[in-house]
Amino acid sequence: MTADFIDLLPDPDRPGGRLLLGIRHFDEPFLLTVSLSQGLGSSELWLDRGRAGKARLAEFRRIGDRVLFVVRNKHFQTYGDAAAVRAGQESFPLSVVWSGPVLREENGAAVVDATGLALADHDRIAEHLYDEEQGEYAVDDARSLPLVADSRTGPSATRLPALLTFAGPGRGTAVRAVAADPRALTVVQQLNLVRLPSEPLPVRRFHPNSGGYGVGYADHGRVGVGDTQVRMQPRFRAGPQAEPIVFRVDPAVPEPFRSAVIEGGNWWREAFALIGLPDAYRVEAGDEAFDPYEVGVNGVVWVHRSGRGWSLGQGLTDPRTGEILHARVRLGSQRLEQVRALGEALLAPYGRPDEAERLAAVEELVLARLRHLAAHEIGHALGFMHNFASTTHPKPSVMDYPHARITVTDDDRIDLSAAYSTGLGPWDHFLVAHAYGHFADEDAALAQLRAEATESGLRFVSDEDAQGPLAAHADAVTWVTGGDARQALETMLRARRIALEGFSRGVLPPDRQTGELEERLTLLHLLHRHEVIAVARLVGGVRYAYGLAGEDGRGTEAVDAATQRSALTGLARLLRAEQLALPQAALSALTPPAVRYGRTEQYLDSGAGRVFDPLDAVRVAVTLVTEQLLEPARLNRVAWQHAMDPASPGVTEVVDALLTVTWRRTDPVPTELPGGVAVQYTAAWTLLNHLLTVLREGTLHAAVRTSLRSALRRFAAELRQGGHDGQREAADLISGVLADPDAVHLDPLPRVPPGAPN
């Protein structure tokens, strides 16, 4: 097959055995991208069907009778005069990843045997498997071959698929869970060589408060002239003269889910219409010829995995301009089961007189979540980042992470009828206008858009400032509904109580084994987990906004003292037995998993052998709170804020608040609580173990560590006055850790089952 870019040539000597390419263009940069069309299907490994690896700049070079395949780091580019460009190119290394002899000249092309190029591990899968502790793997050439008949070429791109077999020890748990023979992992790699547009799209400069991804490169030719870091807003070419942005949905998505994906994805049409581009974007069903690996096709791919996993939206960008050349979304099918399990656990539909009505509510919950998920992941593919502060907006953004909005009626019934918002929020309209709008004076118009968004209260906070132990922004929380985290916690606790009191075998389809009741109970027991994180974010919390030094801004401000103290009190009471004890009816319904079944990571661990362990359930629920409030970075912030404003709670107050509801509890534990005294006692010991663990292993500032040690020393003296054996033992434990931390055994913190994705 002859093309303007690269020719695919038949091999009369070994038909289908060698991949012969005719190289027409040398020293012309193009994009090298790698996809997997046959994946490993493990949520732990992320080597899915539809995976798109990182793009690199590449080119063919000819030196004498050999052709080199050269890869360059696209994050270092230099522009300017010839001397500047040469200095930039010679300052950073090239990578020659393949070379081969010229076999002959044919029709103006240098013919090479590129079989070795197609069979190379361009996405470093072997390295990834090693990093994920699956063992040392390497491509086995004897069991790998180029798929010559499936190769494609054209004027703008060439695709070279290959079947790669990675040979290795086969002892890793993730590969053993999914592979027929984990010693031979066979995938299909799609190697794409993509020409850059001959007419580059004008660059739209990235602004940190725009909500877009900031792609770019370092241009050291700008040294002494301007910032060497060049950042751009990634975006498709859109406008009256451009082709429409079309996403096609994998026909493997079954109905009614495919229609839900199309409907949710098309929510973005409204935003394009509002900027005068009503026909610039659409989502439609893919036909039987659907091929998401074809360059230029924007595909929504249906991915199956073993275990709980994320969906993703990715775009391939021109590294010079940020233009998105094509995009791919991966929707994980197991997300449907996660949401369905939540709905069934909340409504316990099976065997009820209104079973059909409840099941319809569960099904609509799943469809509503899928609509939102499709809009979210396609939003990433359009160039937009997460916004985890959108719960403070009049209507949340689809770029947020939404948990089901669970409401409770006046007669104590759980209502899921408005679980997920429909359509775009105002932030989403802003995203499209800022990335895709056409303006006479671009800089002024974009600045005005950002100013209007800020004035209307549209806050933007993304990943690092919203997730993980170092996150501190009070408004940036995931999987929480409603702007007031404290009220959201109260609502979720009420729904949790109602669902737990109604827990029965009716939470499972009648043909499922009863051991799965434990998993559904775990969902309900930890239902408030995300709200706990959101409320804890207020303690030692701060607020700030992204921006530029030349713009107005207020820096970082601490959450007010009254709000912090209210949040601390609200979280501390979750350590009372009334919040921790599970209803007897729920406990009585449980059985261990049957033979040929087993507990997964979604279950709670058990210290009681094969059966469910209520006290381990208590330990995990306590840890939900303590892992947030006792996180070292939070305690360091609390200490500083208290030093700046003594009205704010300090480290000692945080510790005392938790001890007051556990070890210092003075009111009796209600006798009707199943195992109430044991539950409260377990909560107290779990807290103390966590306090001592933070003291021994945490990265606390010296003054914070001193405050914590002093609080514990006083508490140990207090315990010795109590006279109870458990109190004396706790005092001895504290004294031992204070004297020699390494000489004292502390229990490992309990494993908390994953709560996301939802």
23-63 pLDDT, tens digit each: 999 999 999 999 999 999 999 999 999 999 889 999 999 99
273: Cβ contacts below 8 Å, ≥ 6 apart: none
On the CB side of 41, CA atoms within 13 Å amount to: 16
Q: Is the pLDDT of residue 16 over 90?
A: no
Residue pair 695/746 in contact by the 8 Å Cβ criterion: no
Question: What is residue 722's predicted lDDT score, i.e. its pLDDT?
Answer: 80
* Helices within 478-583 (DSSP H only): 485-501, 517-525, 529-536, 561-572, 577-580
The alpha carbon dihedral of 65, 71, 74, 76 has a sign of negative
User: Which contiguous run of DSSP H or E holds residue 375?
Assistant: helix 355-381
Ordered alpha helix ranges (H), 164-221: 173-178
pLDDT tier for residue 1 given thresholds of 50, 70 and 90: low
Q: Using CA atoms, how far apart are residues 234 and 111, in angstroms rounded to an integer?
A: 36
Q: Is the separation of the CB atoms in 118 and 153 below 8 Å?
A: no
Q: What is the tens place of the pLDDT at every residue in 605-626?
A: 999 999 999 999 999 999 999 9
Structure tokens, 191: 């190697």
Q: Where are the domains of the chain?
A: 6-195, 245-336
Mean pLDDT of 329-340: 94
DSSP 698: S
pLDDT computed for residue 2 by the predictor: 66
> What distance lies between CA 382 and its chain's CA centroid?
17
Q: Which helix (H) or strand (E) holds 57?
A: strand 56-63
Q: Determine the pLDDT at residue 325.
A: 96
215-218 and 184-195 strand pairing: unpaired
User: How much is the average pLDDT of 140-163?
Assistant: 95
300 strand-pairing partners = 249, 329
As a whole number of angstroms, the distance between CA 3 and CA 11 comes to 17
* Amino acid 468: pLDDT: 87
Strand-strand pairing, 245-249 and 298-303: parallel
Residue 642 and residue 481 in contact, taking contact as beta carbons nearer than 8 Å: no
pLDDT above 90: residue 506:
yes
Cβ atoms < 10 Å from Cβ of 542: 17
Say what the pLDDT of residue 237 is. Answer: 97
Please tell me the distance from the alpha carbon of residue 613 to that of residue 618, in angstroms, as a whole number: 9
Reference 159, options 15, 331, 303, 297; nearest CA is 297
pLDDT digits (tens, 9 = 90+) for 723-738: 788 999 999 999 999 9
What is the C-alpha to C-alpha distance for residues 241 and 32, in angstroms, rounded to an integer? 27
Burial class (CB in 10 A: 0-12, 13-18, 19+), 222: middle
Q: How confident is the model at residue 6 (pLDDT cuts 50, 70, 90)?
A: very high
Structure tokens at 637: 């912030």
Contact 196, 318 (CB under 8 A): yes
Q: Average pLDDT of the chain? A: 95
What tokens appear for 529 in the block? 């987990």
Angstrom distance (rounded) from CA 441 to CA 2: 45
Give the residue-averaged pLDDT of 407-426: 96
Return all residues near 396 (Cβ < 8 A) that are at least 6 apart: 390, 402, 421, 425, 481
- pLDDT of 697 reads 86
- Does the pLDDT value for residue 396 go beyond 70? yes
Q: Residue 282: is it exposed, middle or buried by C-beta count within 10 angstroms (0-12/13-18/19+)?
A: middle
Q: Which two tokens stand for residue 91?
A: 């300052």
User: Over the stretch 613-666, which tens digit does the pLDDT of each residue have?
Assistant: 999 999 999 999 999 999 999 999 999 999 999 999 999 999 999 999 999 999
**Residue 490 main-chain phi, psi, to 5 deg:** -60, -45
Bridge-based pairing of strands 66-72 and 95-106 is: antiparallel
Instruction: Tell me what the mean pLDDT of segment 457-466 comes to.
Output: 95
pLDDT at 537: 97
Instruction: Give the CA diameter of the chain.
Output: 96
CA distances from 83 to 78, 79, 542 (A): 10, 10, 48
Strands (E), 281-434: 281-285, 298-303, 312-317, 324-332, 407-408, 414-415
Say which residue the tokens 């409030």 belong to.
Answer: 629
Q: By CB neighbour count within 10 A (0-12 exposed, 13-18 middle, 19+ buried), where does 68 fall?
A: middle
Instruction: Measure the CA–CA gap between 283 and 167, rounded to whole angstroms.
Output: 40
User: Could you give the percent of the chain with pLDDT greater than 90?
Assistant: 92
- At position 420, the amino acid (one-letter code) is Y
